Structure 1
Amino acid sequence: MAKNFAQLAESIVDALGGADNVAAVTHCMTRLRFVLHDESVVDAAVLKSLSGVMGVVRSDTQCQVIIGNNVSQAYAEVQKLLPEGVSAKEASPAKSRLTLRRIGAGILDALIGTMSPLIPAIIGGSMVKLLAMILEMSGVFSKTDPTLVILNVIGDGAFFFLPVMVAASAAVKFKTNLSLAIAIAGVLVHPAFIDLMAKAAQGQKVEFVGLSVTAVKYTYTVIPALCMTWLLSYIEKWVDRITPVVTKNFLKPMLIMLIAAPIAIVLIGPLGIWIGTGISALVYTVHSYLGWLSVAIMGAAWPLLVMTGMHRVFTPTIIQTIAETGKEGMVMPSEIGANLSLGGSSLAVAWRTKNPELRQTALAAAASAIIAGISEPALYGVALRLKRPLIACLISGFICGAVAGIGGLASHSMASPGLFTSVQFFDPANPMSIVWVAGVMILAVVISFITTLLLGFEDIPVEAPRTAAHKSSEAVPSAALTASPAVKTH
């Protein structure tokens, strides 16, 4: 991994066509996400070859540069190279003919772009809830102890107010007024409104100016606030056009609130809930029919979903399922085998490679995947780079997913599965869940390690020291100045 992030940032920006070509930049847990003015000037070959860049993913709207766990340091250096304010905004891609592919890509980009900044808060809240669960299980605190209650409140904060967080993130994505988006989302989780929805759920008729209001619980939801904020971006532009200049300071925000909030309550909110529920129902209907096989398939497919960024599509489904049932038994269990398989495969590469730099990268990536459940450094820095280790991970992920499915493992929270976060799969009512989790984790590392060694891989050659170029041709053979041929390891 590169240590000089200033130099790495400069090289990345140059390969992207210079600072003037960057319209916007954000980052998630492992990736720098660039929106560019002109995609054609990107030197992808140079970008991928940079030491410290694990991979590059390009789409219609973004160029994503995978850095790894130190992405925040690289992001800070990139910010220094760009004009002031560039990183704080999102740029729209150039308009072109609408197709189903572009519509699908746009929806996926909106969902991922909105959810990615929220992942740290979601993981943080999940881990605090897990801590509270462990303290209660171990008898340190009783269920009614104020300390435990407060810990649960801290853990629940990110989920209870998730619509507000989604609205804030989506406001940045859709370039609409942040405070108005937060205020309208706040209506959905206001105590008085929650009480009104509880009465509606019990059969009491609730209307707003004669329009029936559907009984919906918005805490722990994503889709309603996301759809509402997208619509708000258009309402704001329309209201801005119709309001006189002299009244904009007070009339414009009032009209936006009076238009957007009722639409959110009466139409967009319930529609968003139905969409989210429909997606969840589809996913878990497949799970109910295929059983453990669906977890196995997901375990094999997970690295491929991460490569395309489509794994974030499951975030709303996981959150909503845990909120409704208290656990999630398909996607999260599949991640155990997928993440630790990438770690085990990276350990095999570190064991076999003759390249010191690759060994260092593989060891760091293995630690990240196995201990913390962050698999992208192993995926991009090792598996995808060497190809055959990725095949080993897919095989191991399928087998371990099958075992996790047969064991009936389910997650009670949402954090990337790894050694430190494995407690999310412990079921107080089923002590054997601890054995199943431990078994799957060990199996994932062992199977991927052995399979990677059996399949072998094309080792990355070690280049001769550059100082040799300054020596006389008589003292140093010309062959020493070139990279040694790739060596297939077995």
Structure 2
Amino acid sequence: MADYSKLAKDIVEHVGGEENVNSLTHCITRLRFKLKDESKADTETLKNMQGVIKVMQAGGQYQVVIGSDVEDVYDQILLSTSIGEKNQDESAEADNSVSGNKKNSFMDKMTDLISGIFLPFMGAFAGAGLLKGFLVLFTTLALLDKTSTTYTILYAASDGIFYFLPVFLAYCSAQKFGAKPFISMAIACAMCYPSMTALFADKEVAVTFFSIPVKLISYPSSVLPILLTVYAQSKLEKGLMKVIPKIIQSIVIPVVDFAIVFPVALIVIGPVTDIVSKGIAGGIQAVFAFSPAIAGFAMGALWPLFIVFGLHWGFVPIILNNYSVLGYDYISPATFGANFGIAAACLAVFLKTKNKDMKLVSGSASISALIGGVTEPGIYGVLMKNRKIFIGMCIINGLSGIIAAVTGCIRTAQVPVNLLTIPALFAMAGPAIVVSITFSFVVVFLLTYFFLYKDAV
């Protein structure tokens, strides 16, 4: 795809024009518009536009699936319109007016909220996770000594974003809730401040705040405490803005935030969310313990469907919570085979089809899934057009999930899942994960090529 500027112009025109756009963000494959009135968008024209794979309306967003070129198209939209300025002004209040003021379901709102908070730093998150995975591999193979300064430097580079995760979450959640982002970040920094972590580590010190007992928890790498803290901060700030003269708001509000929100976070929000976090982790762990086979099959088989509707983002905070509470995640390995199953189905279609357009789409989609771990082009561009392949692939992915779950595969870092990261996945989860993803790839390929795909030239 060469002319990104024309594609960008055409997309903006057919979503109802710049004046119909409240805001725009993007993920790995999708442009995510928030429109004032979705009925003004010409969905059929967009679906048939060269360079557009699919159009989705989910999570309170009008999503245009582009594929791996999405960032280039996004940049062109920002260059040629004032939509980027609208993004800066976006707040929780703006969310209430999108899509023609239609009421979105609770699931739509949660999907939009979670994706909006986690998407912006997911690239850095994946890169750091990949480095951490390779460090595990290198130390396991005795190629790198954990006591060396080289390891210390590389580990800091890989672990920094995980340790200071509350700071990243603070900024992104402030954007969604309408709080002052730099104050949110400062509160998150205070949570991770060395003296605070030292107090948590010293079990013999009774921590109080003006004689009020404080039950400290470990805030580095945590998820829920900062999210609820920023939400409370946003409510406090909006209330203060109504009663404090505008001329002194910039001075008074930050002081009140630091003096009230941070202590409340330590006294109330932190301990409560700690109980909730452990409850969530324990509950899901109990399901996997009760029947790893059923849980693994469900995760593997349904994962492509979760991606279709954007529901896979709902698992991100649960997975991160597992890292924080348990030190590892046992849910996501059951879904690893899905990436390879999607890649295999697309590769089989590519090798068998004589249709030039389908060969182009399926070939690029298989590479995207296999090398980049990006599966949306394959799902929307190839598999959803053939229901038999999609269903067959989901079933095989489910069986792959059983292998991962029954053998107790875990992930200790948020490593991308693709062909290049198999060594890192092996280092974390052992040989069973290689068996799981190989099974999915081989069986889906054979099933699709010999039985499920009927070429239509």
Q: Which amino acid aligns with 2:386?
A: L
Q: SS at the partner of 1:426? A: helix
CA distance in 2, matches of 1:240, 1:148: 49
Q: SS at the partner of 1:85? A: helix
Q: Which amino acid aligns with 2:232?
A: L
Q: Which amino acid aligns with 1:44?
A: T
Q: SS at the partner of 2:220? A: coil
Asked if 1:272 is matched to 2:262, the reply is: no
Deviation at 1:37, TM superposition (A): 1.0
Aligned with residue 443 of structure 2, among 443, 447, 454: 447
Deviation at 1:216, TM superposition (A): 0.8
Asked if 1:295 is matched to 2:291, the reply is: no
Aligned with residue 106 of structure 1, among 104, 109, 119: 109
Asked if 1:456 is matched to 2:415, the reply is: no
CA distance in 1, matches of 2:247, 2:400: 65
CA distance in 1, matches of 2:246, 2:403: 65
Identify the residue that residue 425 of structure 2 maps to in structure 1: 425
Identify the residue that residue 73 of structure 2 maps to in structure 1: 74
Deviation at 1:8, TM superposition (A): 1.6
Deviation at 1:324, TM superposition (A): 3.8
Identify the residue that residue 317 of structure 1 maps to in structure 2: 318
Distance of aligned partners of 1:247 and 1:336 in 2 relative to their CA distance in 1, 3 Å threshold? closer
Identify the residue that residue 438 of structure 1 maps to in structure 2: 434
Q: Which amino acid aligns with 1:253?
A: P
CA distance in 2, matches of 1:255, 1:376: 45
| CA offsets 1:177-197 (integer angstroms, 9 cap, x no match) | 111111111111111111122
Q: SS at the partner of 1:410? A: coil
Q: SS at the partner of 2:24? A: strand
* Structure 1 residues not aligned, in runs of 5+: 460-486
| CA offsets 1:160-213 (integer angstroms, 9 cap, x no match) | 0000100011112223211111111111111111112223xx253211123221
Deviation at 1:345, TM superposition (A): 0.3
| CA offsets 1:416-447 (integer angstroms, 9 cap, x no match) | 3221122333247x8xx23x333323221221
Distance of aligned partners of 1:317 and 1:60 in 2 relative to their CA distance in 1, 3 Å threshold? closer
The correspondence of residues 109-188 of structure 1 with structure 2, limited to 5 A, is 109-188=112-191
Identify the residue that residue 242 of structure 1 maps to in structure 2: 243
| CA offsets 1:20-70 (integer angstroms, 9 cap, x no match) | 111100111121111111111122212222222222221352111121222
Q: SS at the partner of 2:416? A: coil
Identify the residue that residue 337 of structure 1 maps to in structure 2: 337
Q: Which amino acid aligns with 1:448?
A: V
The correspondence of residues 307-386 of structure 1 with structure 2, limited to 5 A, is 307-329=308-330, 331-386=331-386
Q: SS at the partner of 1:440? A: helix
Deviation at 1:270, TM superposition (A): 2.5
- Alpha-carbon contact 1:19-1:81 (below 8 Å) kept: no
- Alpha-carbon contact 2:163-2:221 (below 8 Å) kept: yes
Q: Which amino acid aligns with 1:130?
A: G
Identify the residue that residue 403 of structure 2 maps to in structure 1: 403
Q: Identity percentage over the alignment?
A: 28
Asked if 1:88 is matched to 2:92, the reply is: no
Deviation at 1:246, TM superposition (A): 4.0
Choose 302-311 or 243-252, whichever is displaced more: 243-252
| CA offsets 1:276-305 (integer angstroms, 9 cap, x no match) | 333222222111111133112210010011
CA distance in 1, matches of 2:125, 2:59: 28
Q: SS at the partner of 1:143? A: coil
- Alpha-carbon contact 1:47-1:53 (below 8 Å) kept: yes
TM-score normalized with structure 2 length: 0.92
Identify the residue that residue 9 of structure 2 maps to in structure 1: 10
- Alpha-carbon contact 2:333-2:404 (below 8 Å) kept: yes
Asked if 1:23 is matched to 2:22, the reply is: yes
Identify the residue that residue 484 of structure 1 maps to in structure 2: none
CA distance in 2, matches of 1:59, 1:443: 32
Instruction: Count how many residue pairs are aligned between Structure 1 and Structure 2.
Output: 452
Q: Which amino acid aligns with 1:238?
A: G
Q: Which amino acid aligns with 1:445?
A: F
- Alpha-carbon contact 1:411-1:424 (below 8 Å) kept: no
Deviation at 1:123, TM superposition (A): 0.8
Q: Which amino acid aligns with 2:148?
A: D
Choose 340-349 or 258-267, whichever is displaced more: 258-267
Deviation at 1:360, TM superposition (A): 1.6
Q: SS at the partner of 1:149? A: helix
Aligned-residue CA RMSD (Å): 2.3
Identify the residue that residue 40 of structure 1 maps to in structure 2: 39
Q: SS at the partner of 2:44? A: helix
Identify the residue that residue 52 of structure 2 maps to in structure 1: 53
Identify the residue that residue 304 of structure 1 maps to in structure 2: 305
CA distance in 2, matches of 1:97, 1:416: 37
Q: SS at the partner of 1:63? A: strand
CA distance in 2, matches of 1:246, 1:333: 54
Choose 383-392 or 334-343, whichever is displaced more: 383-392
Distance of aligned partners of 1:97 and 1:290 in 2 relative to their CA distance in 1, 3 Å threshold? farther
Deviation at 1:138, TM superposition (A): 2.5
Distance of aligned partners of 1:245 and 1:312 in 2 relative to their CA distance in 1, 3 Å threshold? closer
CA distance in 2, matches of 1:397, 1:8: 35
* Structure 2 residues not aligned, in runs of 5+: none
- Alpha-carbon contact 2:415-2:425 (below 8 Å) kept: no
